Structure formats: structure tokens, C-alpha cells
Amino acid sequence: MKLLRRTALALAATALAAPLALAQSAPKLKVGLMLPYTGTYAALGNAIENGFRLYIDQQGGKLAGREIEYFKVDDESAPPKATDNVNKLIKRDHVDVLIGTVHSGVAMAMAKAAKDSGTLLIVPNGGADAITGPMCATNIFRSSFSNSQPGYAMGEVAAKKKLKTAVTITWKYAAGDESVQGFKEAFEKGGGKVVKELTLPFPNVEFQALLTEIAALKPDVVYTFFAGGGAVKFVKDYAAAGLKKSIPLYGAGFLTDGTLDAQGDAADGLLTTLHYGDELNTKRDTEFRLAYAKTFKLQPDVYAVQGYDAAQMLAIGLNAVKGDVSQKAAFAAALEKAKIDSPRGTFTLSRSHNPVQDFYLRQVVGKENKVIGIASKALADPARGCRM
């Protein structure tokens, strides 16, 4: 009899508590992924999403007690469509945070929309210097790099090797232009001279006429920024034109990251600079690589790391504000003093919210970008024009 009464009381208490618990459970956190899922950067967008989801899944699918709900837009790496695309996430889906994107031009449109609307934005690739320069803001962060950083690191390497003349070749948009400017600044400071800057429109891959021009100019070195499908074609065409034997090809590491299977022997021996590489052999990186390979049956690349770290950065900010994204200043303050435990190595954020990180010198050996040294230690974004 006593037992029955106790059970009835317990049931009544549960019935009362249930609506309360429901009312108190935090609403889902709406994450808007705006990435390229088609076009020359499609593989990059997929790797970023994989990395992001891996970290979230490792946290049991929740950050700061809030379950994650994803909203996705394929930005096609198309700047003219970027404002409409980002507004689908901000105005239609009412996301709490934006994650995107790969292409600098599209990322700049996202940064403008984030600044205007106050939506949190973490950029997991797009390196446009302006995002952490004049467009910097309390609610905008980057988990990747700024375009001039890998180029600057490679300019220092080329100058130290006492190379005197360089020709640059890239796509004519922010990423290519700024990568080349970074290279040129460091190379010329070290005594070299960029004798010709060759460009073609993004995402054009008709390289033949420009390769003929390089052969005629005979510089000591060629510096390049290409990524994704375009990088695969450029490396193959450079080798097929017979240039690989006579003029060393140096690149920002995107040239050979996530592309080596498709490039084959044409990439063998190439030197690049990047904030990630293979065989870092740290406990953190090894665990990340094993988890990534097990989940996706793929080897991770720099884009996967940047996606993973975007999720880690979101977690740090959200934990500091107990999941309340409206507390932007406190969210930013937590990230500004954080040490982010990345597979690439620990990094901090500069005052403009860009990673301050080591740039590795890597050489392609077989199917790996083997780290052979540090080209630039704790390199910070110059953050020109950033006022916060």
C-alpha cells in the first residue's frame, strides 16, 4: 500500500516536472554553413563541413548545452550570388552563427552581411585580407589565415635561398592578388625581384599561353597561388610543359593540399608553405587524423583542420556565454584570450581575430606534404586598417 502511494507521488512529481524541463531545455543552435559544394572549390567546402561536424560530434552533438541544427547553402564560389545566398541564412533561416566560406570574394560579402546584421561569423578559409583588416568586427573571426600570410612565408624562403628573379602566376581575384603581394613583399625585402605578375580570371584553367611566357622569361623561380581543381590542372600542365625540370615551382600550400592523389608524379618534390602539413607527429594531430579517417574514410587536409577549428572556436565562445550568442562582447573576449588547441599546433587570435600561427615549409614526397621546417614562426596578420 505504502509502495503504491510512493509510486503515485513520484509519477505526479514527474508529470509536473516534465513541462518545466521542456520549457527550460535550451533551443537548438542554428548553424548556417555557406560553402562551395559545386565547382572548382567543391572538395574544399566538403572537407570544411566534415571537419566542423567531426568536432561537434565529438562533443555529443551539442555545444554549451545546445543541440546543433544545420542549415546549408551552396555558394558555388560565385561572388555575384553571395549577398542573396547569405541572406537566405540570415533572413530566411534566422541562423545564430554563420560558417563560411572558401572563396575570398564570397567571404567578403558574408563579412559585410554579418557586420550589418550583427550575426556571428567564423570564416573557415576565405583569406581576404580585408576581413581582418578594414572589415574587422567584434562578431567576425577567422580559423584559417589571411591571404598574404603563406605568400609572405614563401617569399622569405625564396630570398634565403638567394634566388634573384621571380615570376608569379595566379587567378585575378583577392586570394591570388594578396598571396602574390605577400610573396613579393618578403622576397623583395630579402633582395629578390618579381619581374612579371601573370594572371588569368577565376576559375579559368587555360594556362598554356602563360606557361609559354614563363619559359621565355626564364626566372629563377615561379611563385603561384591556385587551389582545388585549378591547382590539380596547373601542376600537371607545368610539368607537361617541361618547366618543372628547369624552373622551380613554389606555392602557397593550397597548391598541393587535398590534391596530391589527382596530381600524381607531377607534384613530386614541390615546395610550399602553409599552416598545416603531413607527419606533424603530435598527439593532437595524430588523434585528429585517425578520427577523421575513421569517420569519413578520407585523409584530412588543411580545409578539414580549419573546419574543425571553426567548431572549436565556436565552442570556446559559446561556453563563455553559456550558449547565449547575443553576448557578443563576452563571446569575443573569450576567444581573444584563448589558446586554440588545433591539430596544426596551438594558435592564438590577433586583435583583428585572425590566427597567429606558424607557417611550415613542406615538400611533396609521394602522396604527402611532408613538413621539412618552419618557414615563419608565429606569423601575425598585419591587420592593416582594422579598428575595433
* 176 or 219: CB nearest ligand BEZ: 176
* 102 or 375: CB nearest ligand BEZ: 102
Query: Taking a C-beta distance cutoff of 8 angstroms, is the pair 360, 273 a contact?
Result: yes
Choose among 186, 173, 268, 154: nearest CA to 230: 173
CB of 309 to ligand BEZ, least distance (A): 15
CB of 370 to ligand BEZ, least distance (A): 20
Choose among 136, 134, 90: nearest CA to 113: 90
CB of 178 to ligand BEZ, least distance (A): 8
Q: In the complex, which residues of this chain contact ligand BEZ (CB under 6 A)?
A: 102-104, 125-127, 147, 175, 227, 254
* 96 or 358: CB nearest ligand BEZ: 358
Query: Taking a C-beta distance cutoff of 8 angstroms, is the pair 51, 33 a contact?
Result: no
* 169 or 325: CB nearest ligand BEZ: 169
* 103 or 362: CB nearest ligand BEZ: 103
* 96 or 177: CB nearest ligand BEZ: 177
CB of 327 to ligand BEZ, least distance (A): 30
* 250 or 331: CB nearest ligand BEZ: 250
Query: Taking a C-beta distance cutoff of 8 angstroms, is the pair 195, 219 a contact?
Result: yes
CB of 85 to ligand BEZ, least distance (A): 16
Q: Is 127 exposed, middle or buried (0-12, 13-18, 19+ CB in 10 A)?
A: buried
User: Bridge partners of 370?
Assistant: 278, 363
CB of 136 to ligand BEZ, least distance (A): 16
CB of 71 to ligand BEZ, least distance (A): 22
> Which amino acid is residue 240, in one-letter code?
A
* 68 or 106: CB nearest ligand BEZ: 106
* 175 or 271: CB nearest ligand BEZ: 175
CB of 252 to ligand BEZ, least distance (A): 7
CB of 113 to ligand BEZ, least distance (A): 17
CB of 262 to ligand BEZ, least distance (A): 16
Cell 623583395 belongs to which residue? 188
* 29 or 43: CB nearest ligand BEZ: 43
Q: How far apart are CA 182 and CA 194, in angstroms?
A: 12
